[in-house]
Amino acid sequence: MVGIDILEVARIDNSDAFINKIAREEEIAYIKSSPCQSLQAQRLTALFCVKEAVMKALEMGKNSGVVFKDIQLCHEDSGKPYVKLHGKALEKYSTHFADKKIEVSLSHTENYATAIAILI
């Protein structure tokens, strides 16, 4: 299964309410650790894209009960991104895809962010 998402950085809601709705504490700290607002917006947009891509790859539609905070973007020491699943996302993964590994990749520029999630 594959999921992909792309979004214009200018379209992302940078409000604290939106960030708190979609991001876990560790993700918020990562976003806010950026030295400039532009990069923070890019990171937030990429975070949203990763979560959307993972939901698509795991076939988690609007009625699945999965919320954005159920999918956590993490980074290895090398910077390589990976995801941790929680709540309903972890339940669905464990039930239907436990034999698969989730690989993610993301990229962002001043104007766009994109992410892909692949189950292998």
Residue 39, Cβ density class (10 Å: 0-12 exposed, 13-18 middle, ≥19 buried):
middle
pLDDT digits (tens, 9 = 90+) for 43-54: 999 999 999 999
Domain of residue 50, residue span? 2-119
How much is the CA Rg of the chain, to the nearest whole Å? 14
Encode pLDDT of 80-101 as tens digits.
999 999 999 999 999 999 999 9
Which CATH number fits the domain that encloses residue 111? 3.90.470.20
- Cβ 36 vs Cβ 81: under 8 Å: no
User: What is the domain count for the chain?
Assistant: 1
Task: Look up the pTM and report it.
Answer: 0.94
